[in-house]
Amino acid sequence: AAPAVASALAGLDWPALRSAVAGCQACSLCSSRTQTVFGVGHPQAHWMVVGEAPGENEDLQGEPFVGAAGQLLDRMLAALQLSRAADGPPERSVYIANTLKCRPPRNRNPSAEELAQCEPFLVRQIELLQPRIILAMGRFAVQTLLRSDEPIGRLRGRVHRYQGVPLVVTYHPAYLLRSLPEKAKAWDDLCLAAETVE
């Protein structure tokens, strides 16, 4: 089903894509979500951050990364003078999206079917944004964008490409909250992304 959906999304602009996500019933997550979580940030942001899926707070508020992991992410971005604000200069702006637009029940891992159904939305977001750098956080973003099952530890530390766009892999901030030693590595990854885009 995914390729058919992808072609249906091909001509959509930001508002039309947002509506398509809001009305999506392609998988069973539509029956347990409070709302879809589309993405946030400047529509011409140079940076794009891709996470996993909405958690409880995101499902309630309709914005990605608003819980504890999001606060850590925002602090790390702020240290590079980067922000999710939609009205700043594009070169200092970050667009944040998730691989899945709906919260899996009890924050379980996304299934392969859910990832496949939701992927065309992320693909269209990237096409519309045309970011200068993508930061893929965690294994589900990486599986989707790089088609790789390798552990994050083996993929981080170098620049990959997604459709020609430089892509840096790093740990998910929720993991960093549980594993503080990896924070220094994630910081190195953000600095690598910053060097790549500037």
Q: Cβ-closest residue to ligand URA?
A: 51
Stretch that binds ligand URA, among 9-17, 27-35, 59-67, 190-198 (CB under 6 A): 59-67
59 belongs to the binding site for ligand URA (CB under 6 A): no
117 belongs to the binding site for ligand URA (CB under 6 A): no
Report CA torsion sign: 98, 100, 105, 108: negative
- The residues in 84-103 that bind ligand URA, with binding defined as CB under 6 A, are 98
Stretch that binds ligand URA, among 9-17, 41-49, 63-71, 146-154 (CB under 6 A): 63-71
58 belongs to the binding site for ligand URA (CB under 6 A): yes
* Candidate list 29, 40, 48, 69; residue touching ligand URA; CB under 6 A: 69
Is 58 within 8 Å of 66 (Cβ atoms)?
Answer: yes
By beta-carbon proximity to ligand URA, the closer residue of 29 and 198 is 29
By beta-carbon proximity to ligand URA, the closer residue of 58 and 114 is 58
Is 152 within 8 Å of 139 (Cβ atoms)?
Answer: yes
Q: Please tell me the distance from the alpha carbon of residue 89 to that of residue 91, in angstroms, as a whole number.
A: 6
Closest contact distance (angstroms) between CB of 184 and ligand URA is: 21
C-alpha dist (Å) from residue 1 to 20, 25, 61: 15, 13, 29
Is 45 within 8 Å of 90 (Cβ atoms)?
Answer: yes
3-class DSSP assignment, residue 66 = coil
- DSSP class of 159: E
Stretch that binds ligand URA, among 24-32, 47-55, 117-125, 154-162 (CB under 6 A): 47-55
Q: Please tell me the distance from the alpha carbon of residue 24 to that of residue 8, in angstroms, as a whole number.
A: 13
* Candidate list 49, 102, 123, 174; residue touching ligand URA; CB under 6 A: 174
Is 141 within 8 Å of 52 (Cβ atoms)?
Answer: yes
Instruction: Name the site residues for ligand URA (rule: CB under 6 A).
Output: 51-55, 58, 64-65, 67, 69-70, 98, 174
